Structure 1
Amino acid sequence: MKSSEIRSKFLEFFESKSHDIVQSAPMVLKNDPTLMFVNSGMAPFKEYFLGNGTPKNTRLTDTQKCLRVSGKHNDLEEVGYDTYHHTLFEMLGNWSFGDYFKTEAIAWAWELLTEVFNIDKDILYVTVFEGSDDADNLKMDTEAYDIWKQYISEDRILKGNKKDNFWEMGDQGPCGPCSEIHVDIRSAEEKTKVDGKSLVNMDHPQVVEIWNLVFMQYNRKANGSLEVLPNKHIDTGMGFERLCMVLQNVTSNYDTDVFTPIIREIETITNTDYGKDEKIDIAIRVISDHVRAVAFSIADGQLPSNTGAGYVIRRILRRAVRYGFTFLDKKEPFIYRLVSILSARMGDAFPEIKSQKQLIENVIKEEETSFLRTLDQGLVLLDRMIEGESSKEISGAKVFELKDTYGFPEDLTDLILRERGFTYSKKEFAKKLQEQKDRGKEASASQSDDWVVIKEDAEEEFVGYDTLETQVSLTRYRKVTSKKDGEQYQLVFNMTPFYAEGGGQVGDKGYLEQPNGDVIYILDTKKENNLIIHFAKNLPKNLDATMKAVVDVKQRYRTECNHTATHLLHQGLREILGTHVEQKGSSVHSKYLRFDFSHFSKVTDEQLRDVEDFVNARIAGRLPLQENRSVPMEQAIEEGAMALFGEKYGDAVRTIRFGQSIELCGGTHVANTADIWHFKIKGEGAVAAGVRRIEAITNDAVKDYFAENDKAYADIKSLLNNAKEPTAAIEKIQLENADLKKQVEQLLKDKAKNIKGDLKAEVSQINGVNFLTKELDLDANSLKDLAFELGGEIDNLFILFGSNNDGKALLTCYIDKKLVAEKSLNAGTIVRELGKHIQGGGGGQPFFATAGGKNPDGIAKALEEVKAYL
């Protein structure tokens, strides 16, 4: 059975059980600060489990893209070394929100596996929670046990501990016992030797868990205690890749048709054979897994970067590159070439991978090229690190610096060092790494209390599209303490005019006015699992009182100007650059806007002026806002609304139209484009391969910009003695300056020639080597020319010049190539070591090298010590 058929059969089965099929949510989470990525099938539904939202149907089914590479669920280092762990994987799931519970969940799971997929009952085991005698004092899940007895013999029902059979979404929140289904696909001979039940949850590659049925019936509170949920839920997750392994009668996920086309392509590109060498096999598995994770992340809007979720994606890709570099001998980009086969195989189930194919290829290729350069640079740095080392153990601190500063992975450093007969202090490296982690944890550490509920069943309503102030009542709050912000309170109201950060737009600020006139300032507004959360330093004195919530009008207005401008900018870019342009991210603040978009070359100055003129023409056109707050998604798309990849939309959406610009958007906007006043592009540049970024300003920020430019222009005219033509006056000064530079350069050359004769007389001999050191008042180019001229006239010459240029020290070393060969001298090594005296460093070739530093007082010491080399 092909993987596409397996996926379809699963969804169709639960559709027959009155479940709605929902699309996979983007892997990159927008409104959940506890997670970077969707790491389980339930993550997109957290708001329903928490009671903060109501699904359109209490029964849902889907296949969800998941990524497990950070935090508690981190499978990254196992990937490649075994046959069943992955970074990206599909999780097939069925969900019940207060509807059916254990009886139906177990019955349907058994029916699907044994009657639809025809898996032999004799290779299945199930586990149930055995209870715990810790602080929770939980009893065994006898209810699940008794249900399972109807389908499977009791010797195949195993009791599992809390680690394996009690599922929790985090330190707080809904949780409950779970029942896992395991499959034993070992050969008949192996089964006679070892009983399968002894291998369950023991990391055996052919006795693996394929499905987990979670029975959500408790809530974990901040103090660690459990309370019973008012509604019980079902949350199941089945590993799609593992299910394919079972149904396709293979013993590795990588032998299924999910991976084999990618593996065949890697074999072709790298001229290797999978299945003949374990090191090569591991590398191929790593690459075939990681390209999926990176490709889907980019398709969902997460580009590789140096921070947050982007850093995780970059780290995954770099792991794949270094396995190709080390074990497949690939020193040029090749992983991007796998995107075509991935798109062809998975594009029907996940159309985003097909529509974003070109962008994904470009981004991956650029990242590969960049990291391969890093590896080349790292090898040079590693060579320098080893040079002159008397000990065979390199400092762990140096290896950490190579990783932390230059991005060179420690496992590759370890491999190269071992090949050359060296080791490094792993203990010292681990210490440095832990210190870095501790600093990061300390900076981001936060602790939140449980929500204190003031009013039950109060539905929060956002009224900020229509008003910027309204009477509100507090419905719940909690205290949050963090290293960064100290002690804060998060407040939730029955209604709010405050816009919560989302869609690139910042959250509103403002204040609460209490009945006694006291004010509590709202510092920020964010959304978490469908709750609009207001951040404040204080709590209202009377928690039951009705208060007036007031949004900062000026900040909201400026933000609305910028947000509307991003819509017009998007339209302008598509009009002028082409319809291939798609939004790839935005950041809308009160002071500026940032807009990322797909485009494969630099935007010219003329094109930027055309875009600017296009937007300003729409501002001058006084286009009114046309808003539709609830329109069916399909209808909105038919009307031409732009939907963004990586965003999660409901069945009904909000559309924003200004003239011919129409987009799906939940943000706030001006009533008329004339309110924007003017649009000005401040900068344009690359974010990644195929992704550009424009930064721009509107309204008051443009007025300030023009005022600053007027002042700067006036200052320039003043410096030019109020010249009538400032541009012509500056051009004249530039020409004069260029002429003066040429004269200075010639004077320095003449000076060097004049002192060359004097320097010849100062050459001395040390052990048969002509030796010269001198501190000179010359620039770097003159010193180089002088050194080579002297070297051309004097055999066996060794020179070290020092120079103080405007407070910066310079060392220049020249060694006759004959001396380099005969006496194993190296100018690069010498200047690096002497560079410590000038508090700097440098390098170069064995016969010529330079070093720069910030301590000219050390030049004399360097000139004195260089004699030791002879």
Structure 2
Amino acid sequence: MKSQDIRNKFLEFFENKEHLIVPSAPMVLKNDPTLMFVNSGMAPFKEYFLGNSEPKNNRIADSQKCLRVSGKHNDLEEVGYDTYHHTLFEMLGNWSFGDYFKKEAIAWAWELLTEVFGIDKDILYVTVFEGSNDADNLKMDTEAYDIWKQYISEDRILKGNKKDNFWEMGEQGPCGPCSEIHVDIRSAEEKAKVDGKTLVNMDHPQVVEIWNLVFMQYNRKANGSLEALPSKHIDTGMGFERLCMVLQGVQSNYDTDVFTPIIREIETITNTDYGKDEKVDIAIRVISDHVRAVAFSIADGQLPSNTGAGYVIRRILRRAIRYGFTFLNTKEPFIYRLVDVLSKKMGEAFPELKAQKQLVENVIKEEEASFLRTLEQGLILLDGIVKNTKGDTVSGEKAFELYDTYGFPIDLTALILSEKGLKLDHEGFEKHLEIQKNRSRKASEMSTDDWTVLIDDTEQEFIGYDFLEANVKITRYRKVTSKKDGEMYQLVFNLTPFYAEGGGQVGDKGYLQDAHGDVIYILDTKKENNVIIHFAKNLPKNLNEVFKAVVDDKQRYRTECNHTATHLLHQALREVLGDHVEQKGSAVHSKYLRFDFSHFSKLTDEELRDVENFVNARIEGKLDLEEHRNVPMEQAIENGAMALFGEKYGDTVRTIKFGQSIELCGGTHVKNTSDIWHFKIRSESAVASGIRRIEAITNDAVKDYYSETNKAYFKIKGLLNNAQEPVKALKSLQEENTSLKKQVEALLRDKAKNLKGELKNEITKINGVQFLAKKIDLDASGIKDLCFDLGSQVDNLFLLFGCEAGGKAILSCYISKELVAAKDLNAGNIVRELGKYIQGGGGGQPFFATAGGKKPAGIEAALEASKSYIE
């Protein structure tokens, strides 16, 4: 059975069981600060389990893309070395939100596996929670045990501990016992030797868990205690790749048709054979797995970067690149070429992959080329470390510096050192790595108290589109403590005019005022699992009062100007550059806006001018806002609204229209484009291959910009003696300056020529080396020319010249190449040490280097100290 058919059969089965089939949510989470990526099938439904929202249906099924590469769920380092762990995997799941429970979940799982998919009952084992004697003091899940007895013999029902059979969302939140279904696909001979039940949950590659049925019935509180949930839920997750392995009769996930087309393409491109060499096999498995994770992440809107989720994606891709570099001998980008195969294989089930194929290829190719350059540079640096290593062991500190500063992989360092007959101080490296991790961990440490509920009401209304102030009640609050912000309080109101950060728009600020006029300030507003949360440094004195909630109208207005401008900018870019332009991200603040979009080249000055003029024409056109709320998604798309990849939309959406610009948007906007006043582009740059970024300003920021520009203009004009035509006067000055520079250069050349003769006579011989150390009156460029002139005429020459420029000291060291080789001298190392005399530093090549410092008085001491290198 092909993988596509397996996925479809699963979804059809649960559709017939009255489940709503929903598409996979984007892997990058926007409104959940506790998770960087969707790491399980239940993550997109957290708001339903927490009771913050009502689901579209009490029964749902899907195939969810999941990424496990950070935090508690991190399978990255195991990927490639075994046959069943992955960074990205599909989780087939069925969900019940307060509807059916254990009886139905178990019955349907058994029916699907044994009757629909035809898996032999004799190769299946199930586990149930055995209970715990710890603080929770939980009893065994006898209910699940008794249900399982109806389907499978008791000797195949195994009791599991808390680690394996009690599932928790995190340190806090919904949780409960679970039943896992394991499959034993070993040969008959192997089964005869070892009983399969002894291998369950023992990381055996052919005795693996394929489905986990979680019975959510508790809530874990901040103090660690458990309380019963008001409604019981079902959360199941089945590993799609493992199911394919079982149904396709192979011994490895990588032998299924989920991976074989990618593996064949890797073999073709790299001229290797899978299945002949274990190291090559591991590399191919790593690459075939990692390209899926990276491609889906980019398609969902997460580009590789140096921070956060983007850093994780970059790390995954770089792991794939270095395995190819080390074991498949790939020195040119090639992973991007696998995206075409992946798109053909999975594009039907995940259309975002087809739609974003070109972008994904461009970004991966650019990242590959960049990291291969890093590897090349790292090899040069490692070579230098090896040359300066005394003994047979390279220090862990040096290896860590190479890893931390230059991104050079530690396992590649160890491999190269072993080839050179050297050892790596692994313990020293791990020590420095742990110091860095602890530093990062401490910086991000945060503790969150349980919610204190004042009003038992989960309904919350956002009224901020129409009102900037309202009378509100606090329904719940909690304290959050972090190293970054200290103690903060999170407040939830029954209704709120505060817009929560989302869609690129910053969250509102403002204040909360009680009946006595006392005020606490709202410093930020965010959304977590569909709840709008307000951040404050303090709590009101009487939490049970009615408060006046007031949004900072100036910040909101400026933010609205910038947000509306992003819509007009999007339209302008598509008009000027073409329909291939798509929004790839935005940041809307009160002071500026940032807009990322797909485009293949830098915008010309003319294109930028056209874009700016297009937006300002719409501002001058005084276009009214046409807003429509609760529009069915299909109708909004039919009406021409643009949906963004990577965003999660509900059944009904809000559309924003200004003239011909119509988009799906939950943000706040001006009532008329004339409110924006003016739009000005400040910069245009590259973010990644095929992604450009525009930063711009509107309204008051533009007024400030023109005011500062005007001041600068009159200042320049004053320096030009109030010339009537300052541009012409400035051009004349430039021409005069160029002419004078040429004269000065000619004079300096003559000076250097005369100086060369004098200096040649001052050279003395010390230990067979022609030596001269002297302070001279030339600029750095003239000194360099002088050094090489003297070097071409005098053999075995060691020069050190010092000079002053702009109150700073400069040292220049020249050493003949024959001396560098014969006496192991290095100009770069020498100026670095002598730079201490002038309170500075420098470096360069072994035969010529310079150092700069802030202490000209130290030049003479440096010149004197230079003799020690040859005496």
Normalising by the residue count of structure 1, what TM-score does the alignment of the two structures yield? 0.97
Matches within 5 A, 1:358-377: 358-377=358-377
**Per-residue deviation, 1:821:** 5.0
Matches within 5 A, 1:339-488: 339-488=339-488
Q: Distance in 2 between the 1:688 and 1:680 partners?
A: 23
Deviations 1:325-378 (A, max 9, x none): 111111111111111111111111111111111111111111111111111221
Could you list the runs of 5+ residues in structure 2 that have no partner in the other structure? Answer: none
Q: Distance in 2 between the 1:837 and 1:246 partners?
A: 71
Q: Partner of 1:235 in structure 2?
A: 235
Residue 324 (structure 1) aligned with residue 318 (structure 2):
no
Distance 1:98 1:732, change over 3 A: same
Q: Distance in 2 between the 1:443 and 1:169 partners?
A: 23
Deviations 1:180-199 (A, max 9, x none): 11111111111111111111
Q: Does the 8 A contact of 1:809 with 1:859 survive in 2?
A: no
Distance 1:325 1:440, change over 3 A: same
**Per-residue deviation, 1:624:** 0.9
SS in 2 for 1:597: strand
**Per-residue deviation, 1:795:** 2.9
Q: Partner of 1:41 in structure 2?
A: 41
Deviations 1:722-773 (A, max 9, x none): 1111111111222222222222322222222112122222222334333333
Q: Partner of 1:625 in structure 2?
A: 625
Q: Does the 8 A contact of 2:511 with 2:521 survive in 1?
A: yes
SS in 2 for 1:644: coil
**Per-residue deviation, 1:487:** 1.4
Q: Distance in 2 between the 1:39 and 1:674 partners?
A: 45
Q: Does the 8 A contact of 1:777 with 1:803 survive in 2?
A: yes
Q: Partner of 1:734 in structure 2?
A: 734
**Per-residue deviation, 1:794:** 2.2
Partner letter of residue 570 of structure 1? H
Q: Partner of 2:297 in structure 1?
A: 297
More displaced stretch, 535-544 vs 559-568: 535-544
**Per-residue deviation, 1:858:** 6.0
SS in 2 for 1:54: coil
SS in 2 for 1:17: coil
Q: Distance in 2 between the 1:12 and 1:542 partners?
A: 54
SS in 2 for 1:668: coil
**Per-residue deviation, 1:846:** 4.7
Distance 1:226 1:764, change over 3 A: same
Q: Does the 8 A contact of 2:129 with 2:179 survive in 1?
A: yes
Distance 1:749 1:535, change over 3 A: same
Normalising by the residue count of structure 2, what TM-score does the alignment of the two structures yield? 0.97
Identical aligned pairs, as a percentage?
79
Q: Partner of 2:786 in structure 1?
A: 786
Matches within 5 A, 1:260-275: 260-275=260-275
**Per-residue deviation, 1:234:** 0.3
SS in 2 for 1:467: coil
Q: Distance in 1 between the 2:172 and 2:784 partners?
A: 67
Q: Does the 8 A contact of 2:773 with 2:863 survive in 1?
A: no
Deviations 1:41-67 (A, max 9, x none): 000000000000000100000000111
**Per-residue deviation, 1:646:** 0.5
Residue 51 (structure 1) aligned with residue 51 (structure 2):
yes
Q: Partner of 1:646 in structure 2?
A: 646
Distance 1:712 1:820, change over 3 A: closer
Q: Distance in 2 between the 1:836 and 1:429 partners?
A: 29
Q: Does the 8 A contact of 1:631 with 1:655 survive in 2?
A: yes
Matches within 5 A, 1:345-744: 345-744=345-744
SS in 2 for 1:539: coil
**Per-residue deviation, 1:800:** 3.5
Q: Does the 8 A contact of 1:129 with 1:140 survive in 2?
A: yes
More displaced stretch, 819-828 vs 44-53: 819-828
SS in 2 for 1:143: helix
Partner letter of residue 198 of structure 1? T
Q: Does the 8 A contact of 2:775 with 2:859 survive in 1?
A: no
Residue 861 (structure 1) aligned with residue 865 (structure 2):
no
Q: Distance in 2 between the 1:286 and 1:840 partners?
A: 46
Q: Partner of 2:758 in structure 1?
A: 758
**Runs of 4+ off more than 6 Å:** none
More displaced stretch, 606-615 vs 808-817: 808-817
Deviations 1:150-177 (A, max 9, x none): 1111111111100011000000000000
Q: Does the 8 A contact of 1:803 with 1:859 survive in 2?
A: no
**Per-residue deviation, 1:438:** 1.8
Distance 1:837 1:204, change over 3 A: farther
What RMSD over aligned residues (CA atoms) do the two structures have, in Å? Answer: 1.8
Q: Does the 8 A contact of 2:32 with 2:528 survive in 1?
A: yes
SS in 2 for 1:377: helix
Matches within 5 A, 1:71-470: 71-470=71-470
Q: Distance in 2 between the 1:416 and 1:858 partners?
A: 42
More displaced stretch, 774-783 vs 332-341: 774-783
Q: Does the 8 A contact of 1:490 with 1:534 survive in 2?
A: yes
Q: Does the 8 A contact of 2:773 with 2:866 survive in 1?
A: no
Q: Distance in 1 between the 2:803 and 2:323 partners?
A: 46
**Per-residue deviation, 1:295:** 0.8
Q: Does the 8 A contact of 2:766 with 2:870 survive in 1?
A: no
Partner letter of residue 763 of structure 1? I
Q: Distance in 1 between the 2:735 and 2:775 partners?
A: 33
**Per-residue deviation, 1:851:** 4.5
Partner letter of residue 869 of structure 2? A
Q: Distance in 1 between the 2:802 and 2:569 partners?
A: 55
Partner letter of residue 864 of structure 1? A
Partner letter of residue 567 of structure 1? H
**Per-residue deviation, 1:839:** 5.8
Distance 1:804 1:412, change over 3 A: farther
More displaced stretch, 399-408 vs 367-376: 399-408
Partner letter of residue 401 of structure 1? E
More displaced stretch, 387-396 vs 28-37: 387-396
SS in 2 for 1:136: coil
Q: Does the 8 A contact of 1:567 with 1:661 survive in 2?
A: yes
**Per-residue deviation, 1:717:** 1.4
Distance 1:850 1:204, change over 3 A: same
Q: Partner of 1:32 in structure 2?
A: 32
SS in 1 for 2:473: strand
Q: Distance in 2 between the 1:225 and 1:827 partners?
A: 66
Q: Distance in 2 between the 1:806 and 1:343 partners?
A: 60
**Per-residue deviation, 1:421:** 2.6
Q: Distance in 2 between the 1:426 and 1:859 partners?
A: 44
Q: Does the 8 A contact of 1:396 with 1:424 survive in 2?
A: yes
Q: Distance in 2 between the 1:684 and 1:453 partners?
A: 48
Deviations 1:654-692 (A, max 9, x none): 111111100000111111111111111111111111111
Q: Distance in 2 between the 1:818 and 1:523 partners?
A: 66
Partner letter of residue 231 of structure 2? N
Distance 1:821 1:446, change over 3 A: closer
More displaced stretch, 734-743 vs 350-359: 734-743
Q: Distance in 1 between the 2:138 and 2:361 partners?
A: 51
Q: Distance in 2 between the 1:308 and 1:533 partners?
A: 22
Q: Does the 8 A contact of 2:835 with 2:862 survive in 1?
A: no
SS in 1 for 2:218: strand
Distance 1:380 1:738, change over 3 A: same
Q: Does the 8 A contact of 1:802 with 1:863 survive in 2?
A: no
Matches within 5 A, 1:54-65: 54-65=54-65
Q: Distance in 1 between the 2:74 and 2:693 partners?
A: 32
Q: Does the 8 A contact of 2:563 with 2:588 survive in 1?
A: yes
Q: Does the 8 A contact of 2:29 with 2:35 survive in 1?
A: yes
Q: Distance in 2 between the 1:532 and 1:112 partners?
A: 40
Give the total of aligned pairs. 870
**Per-residue deviation, 1:842:** 5.0
SS in 2 for 1:290: helix
